[in-house]
Amino acid sequence: MDSIKDQVQKQFLQSGRGYRKSHIHAKGEDLIWLTEEISNRLEDPILALDIATGTGHTAFALTQSARRVVGLDLTPHMLEIAEEEADRQNIPPITWVQGDAENLPFPDRFFDIVTCRIAAHHFPEPIQAFSEACRVLIPGGLFILIDNYAPDAPSAEALLNQIEKRRDPSHFHVPSQKSWCQMLYSSGFSSVHTARTWETPILMPDWFQRAQTPKEDQSWILETLRQAPQHDRDELGFQDTDTPRLMWKKAMWIGQR
């Protein structure tokens, strides 16, 4: 699995700054929903952790909910960008830690909140990462996971992951909504539920640019989509227009320790 994690670091060393200004990552409405869920469920949380924090947008949002926030990422370059952006936006102080979500460098029962947003599909062992999140939470603490999920149809799930991997070699797997829930249940949480689902339109030129996808791979992805069965194209919301687009299914899951 180390080669996969090396690929993750290599990819985000190249493309990290594209995520700094990405509307989906920086300003998604799900950041508001996340802080609302925390406010509704916890009274005065002290310590929050965002795993695979990337360029820090979720950690920034957590400063509205917790007294202290830690942002952890595997890639030092991403943490450098996060720190720069926090300074630029005058975000309250955040502790940045380089580390692996599948082996968290924190003691048991330490955090009130752990979050992971639009990142777990890069994890080679997501159950291990979720188990680590559960381990470092206090009893009653919350783990909030936000990510894409695949259609239930196996052929559409396979197509989605095929084009995602071709676009971004650090991608590992996007499972179905049911599979995400099963993984969370397998990780030790006392309760798990899907708090919200929604869809996000993806403009493919922007999507390619963010990952710095080579032109030949962009062409391969578009042609693969055009040649796919109609029902799979429909499941992925593929529109083959002057600006091709997809429609990604997303959800927020909440696990309680």
- Looking up residue 56, the CATH number of its domain turns out to be 3.40.50.150
Radius of gyration of the chain (CA): 18
Cα 106 from chain centre: 21
Edge-to-edge strand ranges of the sheet holding 137-149: 95-98, 68-73, 47-51, 111-117, 137-149, 245-256, 191-203
Structural domain range at position 124: 4-152+170-201+248-256
Residue 213 lies in a domain: no
Residue 38 lies in a domain: yes
Residue 70 lies in a domain: yes
pLDDT tens digit at each of 257 positions of the chain: 556 555 555 555 454 455 445 555 556 899 999 999 999 999 999 999 999 999 999 999 999 999 999 999 999 999 999 999 999 999 999 999 999 999 999 999 999 999 999 999 999 999 999 999 999 999 999 999 999 999 999 999 999 999 999 999 999 999 999 999 999 999 999 999 999 999 999 999 999 999 999 999 999 999 999 999 999 999 999 999 999 999 999 999 999 99
153 by Cβ neighbours in 10 Å (0-12 / 13-18 / 19+) ranks as middle
Say which amino acid occupies 64.
Answer: Q
Residue 225 lies in a domain: no
Residue 81 lies in a domain: yes
Which residues on adjacent β-strands are paired with residue 192? 255
* CA-closest candidate to residue 114, choices 184, 175, 219: 184
Residue 62 lies in a domain: yes
Dihedral (CA of 121, 122, 127, 129) sign: negative
Domain count, the chain: 1
Per-residue pLDDT at 10: 53
Angle between helices 215-227 and 204-211 (to 10 degrees): 140
Residue 214 lies in a domain: no
- pTM (predicted TM-score): 0.90
Residue 101 lies in a domain: yes
Give kind and range of the element (H or E) at residue 227: helix 215-227
Q: Which two tokens stand for residue 156?
A: 């559409």
| C-alpha–C-alpha distance, residues 197 and 251, integer Å | 4
